[in-house]
């Protein structure tokens, strides 16, 4: 596969390490959320057959974490974003 | 119709005119007591045991494609019960014992062949971990033994003993491990279920579930609504898709695992072996092909095909272990969709919807589990309580912190 | 205080090695120091000013730029690798820190890497067997991390026949071996 | 050594004679021959035996689709099984032998299977061999396994090298026949970067095998001219002997270049084969078509070939397939073979044409409405029996029969992404279906355009379309003139007459009868057909047989062929040597080595090294007179505890963490608190995964207000760094924190033992007295003027430091330490002694940090702060992970000091039955403690914290040991920690 890195352009997916569903960005706050919220966050997945937003890490490249939107039926990549930008847009900060 | 050598001879002498269809192609009835969704190995085994062992009737298996077309038709055919953890080992040992009597049980030669499996050891830490495992296996009634480097060499003298990056120091062996002709397992169960009146309905895709007041009433299918008292879903690979019809999100991701077969070669690998310093495992089939594999590709996929990096990685592992296979040729690669669960272990459990049961999350261990999975799922469906070897395979183990994490990788399915 | 310590090169020798294979030369370089230089949050102006004062270039992504004393190539968002001459700047952090102060996080990287300069002839035929980077169509000054022989390596294209590699120091021998074997197979 | 069947013409170099042997007999061929063409020229038809029935076989084809003529090529360690003689390029000195036959190819004892064929129907083995149960594995299966396979491996290490590489292009053209050449010319002329790859050793594809004219010249000449023009274009890369074997995502193709297979041995330094990963923006499949046979009784004899192959042998290689050749066809293409043979002066016995009507061939006996119903000749064809249109039968003697059942476009690669081919009834063949690999289109015969003009036109059109996609201007040049004959085919899949076997899949011996049996038993789904009969599972993946099998099943079920469906081709297109897929990564080069800074010094001392991940670490350093490793390790431990020992700990991960939020960041990633750590101090840190399981541990030092140095375990250095980047970029993107690995930048040595400070003070320029540099102190120092770092931390339980210098000085540092330590009898200790001392001290490491254990399991539960949010804090509180009877880390020692225990043993209560219910846990790590004079171990024991002082059994069934042990505190040595604070 080829991931079109937002900064570096097309790169072989072999340079990346896959983590999983980009919903992992939405980590609950441990001081307010309890076991049930963390359980749902960490373990349950939509696992769609189709467009899937997922986290990839450019380990053998620039070390950016990316959010890749990819079709799990065809492997077509629809969108690639820097995970930091996505996280900030979703309200994550410190 | 009973199969036997005499029957084969008799048919050969009379032009094979007497062979009957191995299964019927019935039209679906309006309703059944039990609907098993998924005509792969686990679904067919469930229906078979439900009818045979638990004496239930009015059973249908709904298959969206052809029987045995799931992962039972695209795996590397290995059976073993060399698991580490107490949640797993009794179940897999139960499965291995069922394999050992399977052919006589369903009167079909699935070529269960216990030629032994070895897990190669390259470090002292691996030896410690395998010792723990081997002892756990024996405590669970399985067999295990530790082989020295010389014993491994006597078995497989052509492995790389002299110029290896990670020298072989020994192996954990399970002599009762081996291989089975995978398609025949599906066909044997299908034939046995059909003979006991189970309706095997091919080309029938479940498109919805009818749930009223927290209870399942039946399934919508490409061939119309079919009513059911109980519905058991055994569609590993597509679990999330099917269970979404019931509004459920699962602790499962779908990943692609590639498998490989070489051209037919004169026999030189008798048993099964796994390389402890790379991602590679191999056996040789009764037709002579090397059947091998390695890691999953590592990304969510329903595409039933993989990519080049894993193919190269597997070949590197193979060549590192067996430099004699350089001139053997890879004939075919294929990919299956794995239900990768959050701790690498399966789920056989009720759901919060009355009458809806789930069997999935098999990762890439599903084939060897086929008999026990069918038996235990049938047990759960018939008796509403888990079989004693499958008590740990519950949905709520993640909420309770009772994960069965053989590899110790945590909630990351692609690492299991 | 100047030290009198004897150093070993990454390949384990007292002197840097030069290997010639056909038209190719592979030269181990021990005379360049390296530091990572990362921008701290909200310090953009001070950071840029300090770099400017030092004549230290801050090239954009995938690029290497030379300066009078310091050269640099891009590593990751808001982080660069800075190169300088070993003889004059052995403790490179001590040279950079006073200029950047709290505007930057600076870490010595010199000995985390082995540097090989590969030169002598057009290199595309060699590197097409080593890396998936399309060397022949990349511009001079291109710099990127890539994978060579399972190793994470920074590759800088100086020209069609000059490439700089920074590979992990502990695997220097393995990286050189890969370069040698490949060079022999293409000549 | 007469080439009795060599005729005029062809693209062989008759001035170059090549010697070769087959089954020990010597023959001559010419440059440009394949092994098959050369054997045929020498009158050799019998080249192999089939898989199941061991039927005698000759080549069916003249290309890579060959199912029959498989041989062992070369000898010794280079023996290559299952090599298709039809594509093996002849070289001087080639040795080939037959396979799957014993004692010889002509008299094969296993041919008994052929006599017993009525028992060996499809799937017979599923129905038998079940009684008695034990016989399957003891008797039946071993017999079956002995018969398995075709060719044999040498079982010796492959002596040849393989290489890999990466190529980039705008347009990849697969196949250099008329369509591929035209596509490449069109794209190349427009300035696009083109790769043109062909599996053959001569470009031109079918043009080399035909007599058509292209552009007013012989087709082969036009191909040569096209190749010459392409070679003049610097942006076009022509790749001969290169097969595109797989299509992967996003325009990536794998290709195998057979660099040296046409040579006796590869040239020095050159690989045998190279695996290329080709990155393309667009790709055009111009892979041609494969002819298919018609099944009839005994249609598998040596001498029976595809008609197009007979034509190719005559036109390209100057070889007559036999002295008298008949043709059996259902389409016009078969007639071409007859005409070409006639023109070459070959005796054409008859053309048996299943169709009625149309023009008769001139000067050839053309039997219309006729079918071949049987053949004779045990080791080679002697005659065919023909049912004439009149209903009469006639036996026609011939030594070769060319059969044409029509042509199948080579759609294979288009289905590598599981796209199913579509049926086109006008050409009675499958063509590429929708949903193939993105960016890939087909041209020429592969797309169903089966005429030469069609190939040229579609090649050009697809190239223009690809160029337009890529935004490159191009104009459609004038196409060279070429034949454009329509496909006149009247499908005939198998001859219905006869009670014997008619082969579909020749290698696997799948016959029409097998398909009928599959149908009878309801294995009618096309995948069931394949799996039940093994149709298409041979080394040719059913290139010649699959469509036949599907068509016959369609006829039996009464469904159409498209409704019956098709199995899909999987990568690779043709089988690929494992060596090529592995490339250079084998033997010692399987994974890179990582060497520590003291490696050279240690090697000089005769150290024994051990693989720890990719690192080579010193395991122990034997001294003269020591005969066992234990002697060395015991000495290293005792010497360290008595005076001072030195260990290279560079392999531990080191991460520089800086920024104004560095402390806050560490509070989130560690279970315990770091923001409160004083500058100049370090602290042991415990890192959890989000699921509350321990991920890693190590000491982290605060070097400045906004500067920390983290250490990780050797094993987790990479994954911890990745995790920190994840936390920094994804979870808390606004934290001001920057990280970089410094693992290799610093050579770091542990100096441990009562004399550690005295030793170090000799070389460190600053005061490191206990007051100036207390326990858990950390700071920058100088050593003889050289910048360094010092950490007062201990893994061994001794007064200990870790001292670091820039890596290039690591070698000098170990020498300096040893010199300074001479007066203290300092020694270097390796990983074994390190392990002994850490277990004596009760520190967790690999065996305990197993990814399954919590802080509570390790006795570190109190370290998980609940006053702050950190990764894993919440889920570590789940009930199942906090049970009082859960596993706890304990120390273990045998009650009898001479007793032996081993890691991996399980705990059992004394007197309890040996069963699962009695399993109390297991021993994680075990060493011999020279300090205590006995084996000691750590273990996870259920409710272990409540069982200190108890006696239990440590049972290891694998070594048959059962030892009474005492459960003790894991801190065997100096539990109060007085030594390390000394």
- Going by C-alpha positions, the residue among C145, D168, D251 that lies closest to residue A7 is C145
Counts of helices then strands in chain D (DSSP H, E) = 21, 51
Whether chain D has a CB inside 8 Å of the CB on A68: the answer is: no
Residue D207 tokens read as: 């043009």
Confidence at residue C1, expressed as pLDDT on a 0 to 100 scale: 44
Confidence at residue D808, expressed as pLDDT on a 0 to 100 scale: 97
Q: What is the per-residue pLDDT across D818-853, written as a single tens digit (0 to 9) for each?
A: 999 999 999 999 999 999 999 999 999 989 999 999
- Going by C-alpha positions, the residue among D560, D534, D556 that lies closest to residue D546 is D534
Please tell me the total count of domains within chain B: 2
Evaluate whether residue B31 is within a structural domain: yes
**Cβ–Cβ below 8 Å for A7 and C77:** yes
C-alpha to C-alpha distances, D56 to D39, D379, D399, D904, nearest whole angstrom? 15, 6, 15, 56
Residue D229 tokens read as: 């023009």
Sign of the dihedral defined by the CA atoms of residues D711, D715, D721, D726, in that order: negative
Measured between beta carbons, the chain C residues lying within 8 angstroms of A9 are 62
Delineate the domains of chain D, giving CATH numbers in brackets.
1-156 (3.10.20.440), 162-289+409-469 (3.50.50.60), 293-405 (3.50.50.60), 498-573 (1.10.10.1100), 627-650+745-826 (3.30.1360.120), 653-741 (3.30.70.1400), 838-869+877-968 (2.40.30.110)
Task: Tell me the CA end-to-end span of chain A in Å, nearest whole number.
Answer: 33
Pick the CATH number of C32-110 from 3.40.640.10, 1.10.1200.10, 3.30.70.1520, 3.40.50.1980: 3.30.70.1520
Looking at the structure, give the CATH architecture of the domain made up of residues C18-30+111-186: 2-Layer Sandwich (3.30)
Residues 6+ apart with CB under 8 A from C45: none
| pTM of the predicted model as reported, rounded to 2 decimal places | 0.97
Residue D565 tokens read as: 């469906």
Best probe of the D interface among C96, C129, C168, C183, by most D CBs < 10 A, is C129
D135 versus D236: the higher-pLDDT residue is: D236
CB pairs under 8 A between A and C: 32
Kind plus residue range of the DSSP H or E element containing D924: strand D921-929
Kind plus residue range of the DSSP H or E element containing B356: strand B356-360
Share of chain B above pLDDT 70, in %: 100
Whether chain D has a CB inside 8 Å of the CB on B148: the answer is: no
Q: Count the neighbouring beta carbons within 10 Å of the beta carbon of residue D681.
A: 17
**Is residue B360 pLDDT above 60, yes or no?**
yes
**Co-location of B271 and B170 in the same domain:** yes
**Cβ–Cβ below 8 Å for C30 and D808:** yes
Phi, psi of B15 (to 5 degrees): 75, 20
Evaluate whether residue A17 is within a structural domain: yes
Residue D619 tokens read as: 């395991």
Closest CB from D166, D743, D809 relative to C128:
D166
Q: What is the per-residue pLDDT across D551-575, written as a single tens digit (0 to 9) for each?
A: 999 999 999 999 998 878 999 999 9
CATH number at residue B57: 3.50.50.60
Evaluate whether residue A6 is within a structural domain: yes
Whether chain A has a CB inside 8 Å of the CB on C145: the answer is: yes
Please, what's the largest Cα pairwise distance for chain A?
Answer: 41
Closest CB from A2, A27, A35 relative to D731:
A27
247-266 of B, contacting A, C-beta below 8 A? 249-254
Task: Tell me the CA end-to-end span of chain C in Å, nearest whole number.
Answer: 48
- Going by C-alpha positions, the residue among B60, B299, B91 that lies closest to residue B197 is B60
Closest CB from B16, B266, B289 relative to D121:
B16
**Co-location of B257 and B330 in the same domain:** yes
Best probe of the D interface among C4, C30, C111, C179, by most D CBs < 10 A, is C111
Calpha distance D382→D384 (Å, rounded): 7
Rounded to 10°, the helix D526-533/D512-520 angle is 120
734-763 of D, contacting C, C-beta below 8 A? 734-736, 738, 740-747
**Is residue B36 pLDDT above 80, yes or no?**
yes
Closest CB from B22, B128, B139 relative to D847:
B128
**Is residue B187 pLDDT above 90, yes or no?**
yes
Whether chain D has a CB inside 8 Å of the CB on B145: the answer is: yes
The pLDDT confidence band at residue D679, using thresholds 50, 70 and 90, is: very high
Return the minimum-mean-pLDDT range out of D20-34, D297-311, D486-500, D866-880.
D486-500
**Is residue D412 pLDDT above 60, yes or no?**
yes
CA distance D160 to chain C (A): 12
Residue C150 tokens read as: 């399972």
**Co-location of B284 and B350 in the same domain:** no
Strand-strand pairing, D366-368 and D347-353: parallel
**The length of chain B, given as a count of residues:** 416
Calpha distance B215→B200 (Å, rounded): 24
Evaluate whether residue A94 is within a structural domain: no
- Going by C-alpha positions, the residue among D798, D814, D704 that lies closest to residue D756 is D798
| Cβ–Cβ under 8 Å, residues D191 and D235 | yes
Best probe of the D interface among B173, B276, B329, by most D CBs < 10 A, is B329
Q: Count the neighbouring beta carbons within 10 Å of the beta carbon of residue C180.
A: 15
Whether chain A has a CB inside 8 Å of the CB on C144: the answer is: yes
Q: Which chains touch A (3 or more CB pairs under 8 A)?
A: B, C, D
Residue that terminates a domain, selected from B341, B362, B377: B341
Evaluate whether residue B29 is within a structural domain: yes
**Cβ–Cβ below 8 Å for D165 and C112:** no
Best probe of the A interface among C41, C147, C149, by most A CBs < 10 A, is C147
- Going by C-alpha positions, the residue among B177, A14, B168, C78 that lies closest to residue D590 is B168
**Is residue D1 pLDDT above 60, yes or no?**
no
Q: What is the per-residue pLDDT across D763-798, written as a single tens digit (0 to 9) for each?
A: 999 999 999 999 999 999 999 999 999 999 999 999
Residue D66, burial from CB neighbour count under 10 angstroms (0-12, 13-18, 19+) = buried
**Co-location of B199 and B70 in the same domain:** yes
Which structural domain range is residue A67 located in? 2-89
**Cβ–Cβ below 8 Å for A47 and B414:** no
674-713 of D, contacting C, C-beta below 8 A? 706-707
Q: What is the mean pLDDT of chain B?
A: 96
Confidence at residue B164, expressed as pLDDT on a 0 to 100 scale: 93
| Cβ–Cβ under 8 Å, residues D743 and D654 | yes
D878 versus D1: the higher-pLDDT residue is: D878
Q: Count the neighbouring beta carbons within 10 Å of the beta carbon of residue B71.
A: 24
- What is the three-class DSSP state of D939? strand
Nearest CA in chain D to B315: D582
Confidence at residue C3, expressed as pLDDT on a 0 to 100 scale: 63
Measured between beta carbons, the chain C residues lying within 8 angstroms of D163 are 129, 182, 185
Count CA atoms closer than 13 A to B208's CA, side-chain side.
8
- Going by C-alpha positions, the residue among D303, D375, D327 that lies closest to residue D68 is D303
Nearest CA in chain D to A43: D691
The pLDDT confidence band at residue D140, using thresholds 50, 70 and 90, is: confident
My answer on whether omega of the bond before D572 falls inside 30° of 0, hence cis, is yes
**Co-location of B363 and B383 in the same domain:** yes
Best probe of the D interface among A15, A34, A35, A90, by most D CBs < 10 A, is A35
Helices (H), B109-259: 124-139, 149-155, 182-195, 239-243
Share of chain D above pLDDT 90, in %: 92
Please tell me the total count of domains within chain A: 1
- What is the three-class DSSP state of B392? coil
Strand-strand pairing, B199-201 and B59-62: parallel
> Where are the extended beta strands (E) located within D753-874?
778-783, 786-791, 800-806, 827-828
**Cβ–Cβ below 8 Å for A1 and D725:** no
Evaluate whether residue A81 is within a structural domain: yes
- What is the three-class DSSP state of D138? helix
Measured between beta carbons, the chain D residues lying within 8 angstroms of B127 are 903-904
Evaluate whether residue B102 is within a structural domain: no
35-94 of A, contacting C, C-beta below 8 A? 59-64, 82, 84
CA distance A19 to chain C (A): 20
Whether chain A has a CB inside 8 Å of the CB on B303: the answer is: yes
Closest CB from C7, C170, C178 relative to D744:
C170
Measured between beta carbons, the chain D residues lying within 8 angstroms of C175 are 592
**Cβ–Cβ below 8 Å for C62 and A60:** no
Evaluate whether residue A69 is within a structural domain: yes
Rg over alpha carbons for chain A, rounded to the nearest Å, is 14
- Going by C-alpha positions, the residue among B26, B47, B77 that lies closest to residue B233 is B47
**Co-location of B366 and B230 in the same domain:** yes
Residue D765, burial from CB neighbour count under 10 angstroms (0-12, 13-18, 19+) = middle
Which structural domain range is residue B19 located in? 5-77+182-251+345-415
Measured between beta carbons, the chain B residues lying within 8 angstroms of A46 are 240, 249
**Cβ–Cβ below 8 Å for D742 and C7:** no
**Cβ–Cβ below 8 Å for D658 and C41:** no
Residue that terminates a domain, selected from B341, B369, B389: B341
**Co-location of B266 and B173 in the same domain:** yes
Which residues in chain C come in under a pLDDT of 50?
Answer: 1
Calpha distance C80→C102 (Å, rounded): 16
User: Would you kindly state where each structural domain of chain C is located, as residue ranges?
Assistant: 18-30+111-186, 32-110
Confidence at residue C6, expressed as pLDDT on a 0 to 100 scale: 95
CA distance D669 to chain A (A): 12
**Cβ–Cβ below 8 Å for D730 and A29:** no
């Amino acid at each position: 596969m080829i991931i079109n890195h937002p900064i570096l352009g097309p790169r072989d997916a072999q340079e990346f390490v896959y983590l999983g569903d980009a919903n992992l960005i939405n980590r609950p706050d441990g001081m307010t959320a309890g076991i049930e919220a963390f359980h749902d966050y960490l373990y349950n997945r939509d696992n769609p057959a189709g467009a899937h937003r997922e986290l990839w890490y450019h380990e053998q490249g620039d070390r950016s974490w990316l959010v890749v939107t990819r079709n799990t039926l065809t492997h077509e990549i629809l969108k690639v974003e820097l995970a930091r930008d996505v996280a900030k847009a979703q309200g994550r900060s410190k | 119709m009973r199969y036997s050598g005499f029957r084969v001879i008799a048919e050969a002498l009379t032009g094979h005119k007497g062979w009957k269809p191995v299964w019927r192609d019935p039209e679906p009835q309006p309703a059944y007591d039990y609907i098993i969704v998924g005509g792969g190995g686990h679904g067919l085994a469930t229906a078979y045991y439900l009818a045979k062992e638990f004496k239930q009737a009015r059973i249908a298996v709904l298959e969206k494609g052809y029987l045995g077309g799931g992962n039972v038709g695209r795996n590397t055919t290995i059976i073993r019960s060399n698991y580490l953890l107490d949640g797993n080992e009794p179940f897999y040992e139960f499965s291995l014992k069922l394999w050992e009597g399977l052919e006589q049980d369903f009167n079909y030669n699935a070529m269960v062949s216990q030629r032994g499996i070895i897990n190669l050891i390259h470090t002292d830490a691996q030896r410690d971990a395998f010792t723990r495992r081997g002892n756990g296996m024996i405590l669970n009634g399985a067999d295990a033994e530790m082989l020295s480097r010389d014993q491994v060499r006597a078995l497989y003298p052509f492995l790389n003993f002299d110029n290896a990056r990670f020298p072989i120091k020994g192996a954990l062996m399970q002599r009762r491990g081996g291989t089975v002709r995978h398609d025949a397992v599906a066909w044997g169960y299908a034939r046995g279920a059909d003979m006991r009146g189970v309706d095997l309905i091919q080309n029938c895709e479940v498109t919805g579930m009818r749930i009223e007041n927290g209870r399942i009433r039946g399934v919508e299918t490409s061939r119309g609504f079919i009513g059911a008292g109980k519905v058991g879903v055994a569609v590993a690979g597509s679990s999330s898709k099917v269970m979404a019809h019931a509004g459920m999100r699962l602790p499962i991701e779908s990943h692609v695992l590639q498998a490989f077969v070489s051209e037919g070669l004169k026999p030189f690998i008798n048993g099964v072996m796994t390389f402890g310093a790379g991602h590679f495992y191999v056996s040789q089939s009764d037709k002579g092909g090397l059947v091998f594999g390695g890691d999953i590709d590592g990304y969510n996929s329903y595409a039933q095909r993989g990519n080049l990096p894993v193919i190269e990685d597997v070949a590197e592992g193979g060549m590192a272990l067996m430099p004699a296979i350089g001139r053997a040729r890879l004939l075919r690669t294929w990919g299956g969709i794995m239900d990768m669960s959050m701790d690498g272990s399966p789920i056989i459990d009720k759901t919060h919807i009355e009458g809806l049961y789930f069997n999935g999350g098999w990762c890439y261990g599903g084939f060897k589990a086929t008999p026990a999975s069918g038996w235990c799922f049938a047990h759960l469906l018939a008796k509403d309580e888990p079989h004693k070897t499958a008590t740990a395979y519950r949905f709520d183990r993640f909420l309770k912190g009772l994960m069965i994490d053989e590899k110790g990788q945590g909630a990351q399915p692609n690492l299991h | 205080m100047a030290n009198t310590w004897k150093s070993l090169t990454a390949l384990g020798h007292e002197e840097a090695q030069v290997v010639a294979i056909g038209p190719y030369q592979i030269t181990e370089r021990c005379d360049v120091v390296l530091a990572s230089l990362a921008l701290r949050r909200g310090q953009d102006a001070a950071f840029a000013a300090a770099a400017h004062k030092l004549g230290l270039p801050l090239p954009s992504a995938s690029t290497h730029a030379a300066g009078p004393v310091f050269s640099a190539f891009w590593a990751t968002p808001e982080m660069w690798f800075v190169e300088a001459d070993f003889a004059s700047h052995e403790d490179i952090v001590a040279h950079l820190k006073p200029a950047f102060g709290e505007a930057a996080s600076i870490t010595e990287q010199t000995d985390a890497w082995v540097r090989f300069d590969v030169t002598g002839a057009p290199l595309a035929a060699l590197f097409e067997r080593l890396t998936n980077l399309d060397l022949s169509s990349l511009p001079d000054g291109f710099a990127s991390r890539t994978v060579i022989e399972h190793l994470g390596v920074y590759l800088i294209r100086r020209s069609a026949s000059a490439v700089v590699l920074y590979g992990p120091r502990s695997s220097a021998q393995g990286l050189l071996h890969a370069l040698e074997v490949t060079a022999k197979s293409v000549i | 050594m007469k080439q009795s069947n060599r005729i005029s013409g062809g693209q062989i170099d008759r001035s170059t004679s090549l010697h070769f042997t087959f089954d020990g007999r010597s023959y001559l061929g010419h440059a440009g021959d394949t092994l098959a063409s050369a054997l045929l020229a020498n009158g050799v038809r019998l080249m192999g035996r089939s898989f199941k029935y061991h039927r005698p076989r000759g080549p069916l084809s003249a290309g890579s689709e060959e199912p029959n003529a498989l041989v062992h090529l070369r000898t010794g360690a280079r023996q290559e099984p299952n090599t298709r003689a039809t594509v093996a390029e002849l070289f001087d000195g080639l040795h080939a032998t037959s396979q799957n036959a014993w004692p010889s190819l002509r008299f094969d004892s296993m041919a008994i299977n052929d006599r017993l064929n009525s028992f060996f129907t499809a799937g017979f083995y599923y129905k038998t061999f079940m009684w008695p149960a034990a016989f399957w594995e003891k008797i039946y299966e071993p017999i079956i396994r002995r018969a398995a396979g075709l060719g044999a491996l040498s079982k010796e290490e492959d002596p040849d090298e393989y290489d890999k590489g990466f190529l980039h292009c705008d347009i990849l053209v697969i196949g250099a026949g008329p369509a591929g050449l035209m596509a490449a010319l069109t794209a190349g002329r427009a300035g696009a970067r083109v790769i043109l790859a062909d599996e053959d050793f001569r470009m031109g594809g079918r043009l080399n095998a035909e007599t058509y004219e292209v552009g007013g010249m012989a087709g082969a000449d036009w191909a040569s001219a096209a190749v010459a023009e392409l070679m003049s274009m610097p942006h076009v890369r022509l790749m001969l002997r290169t097969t595109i074997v797989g299509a992967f995502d996003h325009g990536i193709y794998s290709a195998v270049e057979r660099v040296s297979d046409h040579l006796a041995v590869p040239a020095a330094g050159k690989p045998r084969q190279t695996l290329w990963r080709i990155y393309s923006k667009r790709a055009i499949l111009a892979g041609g078509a494969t002819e298919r046979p018609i099944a009839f009784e005994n249609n598998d004899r040596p001498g029976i070939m595809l008609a197009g192959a007979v034509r190719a042998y005559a036109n390209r290689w100057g070889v007559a397939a036999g002295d008298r050749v008949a043709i059996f066809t259902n389409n016009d293409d078969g007639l071409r073979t007859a005409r070409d043979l006639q023109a070459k002066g070959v005796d054409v016995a008859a053309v048996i044409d299943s169709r009625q009507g149309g023009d008769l061939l001139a000067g050839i006996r053309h039997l219309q409405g006729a079918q071949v119903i049987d053949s004779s000749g045990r080791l080679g064809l002697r005659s065919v029996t023909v049912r004439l249109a009149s209903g009469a039968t006639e036996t026609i003697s011939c030594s070769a029969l060319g059969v044409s059942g029509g042509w199948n476009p080579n759609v294979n690669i288009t289905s590598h992404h599981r796209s199913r081919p579509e049926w086109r009834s006008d050409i009675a063949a499958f063509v590429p279906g929708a949903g193939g690999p993105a960016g890939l289109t087909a041209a020429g015969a592969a797309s169903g355009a089966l005429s030469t003009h069609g190939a040229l036109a579609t090649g050009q059109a697809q190239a223009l379309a690809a160029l337009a996609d890529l935004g490159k201007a191009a104009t459609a040049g004038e196409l060279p003139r070429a034949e454009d004959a329509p496909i006149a085919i009247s499908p005939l899949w198998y001859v219905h007459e006869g009670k014997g076997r008619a082969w579909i899949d020749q290698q696997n011996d799948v016959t029409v009868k097998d398909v009928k049996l599959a149908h009878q038993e309801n294995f009618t789904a096309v995948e069931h057909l394949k799996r039940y009969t093994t149709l298409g599972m041979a080394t040719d993946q059913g290139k010649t047989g699959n469509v036949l099998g599907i068509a016959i099943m369609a006829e039996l079920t009464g469904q159409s062929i498209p409704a019956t469906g098709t199995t899909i081709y999987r990568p690779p297109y043709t089988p690929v040597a494992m060596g090529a897929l592995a490339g250079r990564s084998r033997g010692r080069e399987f994974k890179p080595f990582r060497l520590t800074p003291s490696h050279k010094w240690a090697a000089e001392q005769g150290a024994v090294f051990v693989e720890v991940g990719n690192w080579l670490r010193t395991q122990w350093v034997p001294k003269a007179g020591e005969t066992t490793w234990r002697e060395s390790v015991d000495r290293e431990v005792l010497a360290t505890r008595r005076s001072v020992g030195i260990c290279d700990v560079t392999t531990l991960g080191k991460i520089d963490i800086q920024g104004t939020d560095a402390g806050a960041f560490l509070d989130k990633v560690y279970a315990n608190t770091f923001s409160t750590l004083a500058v100049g101090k370090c602290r042991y840190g415990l890192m959890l995964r989000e699921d509350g399981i321990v991920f890693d541990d190590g000491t982290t030092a605060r070097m400045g207000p906004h500067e920390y140095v983290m250490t990780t375990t050797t094993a987790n250095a990479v994954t911890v760094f990745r995790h920190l980047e994840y936390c920094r970029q994804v979870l808390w993107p606004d934290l001001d924190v920057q990280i970089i690995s410094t693992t290799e930048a610093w050579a770091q040595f542990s100096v441990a033992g009562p004399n550690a400070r005295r030793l170090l003070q000799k070389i460190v320029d600053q005061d490191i007295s206990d007051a100036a540099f207390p326990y858990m102190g950390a700071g920058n120092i100088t050593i003889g003027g050289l910048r360094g770092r010092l950490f007062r931390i201990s893994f061994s339980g001794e007064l200990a430091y870790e001292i670091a210098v820039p890596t290039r000085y690591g070698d000098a540092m170990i020498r300096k330490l040893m010199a300074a330590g001479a007066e203290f009898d300092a020694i270097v200790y390796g990983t074994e002694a390190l392990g002994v001392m850490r277990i004596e001290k009760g520190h967790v490491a690999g065996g305990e940090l197993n990814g399954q254990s919590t802080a509570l399991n390790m006795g570190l539960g109190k370290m998980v702060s609940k006053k702050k949010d950190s990764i894993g804090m919440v889920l570590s509180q789940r009930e199942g992970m906090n049970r009082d009877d859960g596993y706890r880390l304990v120390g273990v020692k045998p009650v009898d000091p001479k007793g032996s225990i081993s890691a991996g043993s399980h705990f059992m209560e004394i007197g309890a039955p040996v069963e699962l219910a009695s399993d109390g846990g297991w021993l994680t790590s075990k060493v011999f403690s020279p300090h205590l004079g006995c084996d000691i171990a750590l273990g996870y024991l259920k409710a272990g914290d409540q069982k200190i002082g108890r006696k239990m059994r440590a049972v290891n069934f694998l070594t048959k040991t059962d030892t009474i042990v005492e459960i003790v505190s894991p801190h065997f040595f100096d539990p109060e920690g007085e030594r390390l604070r000394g």
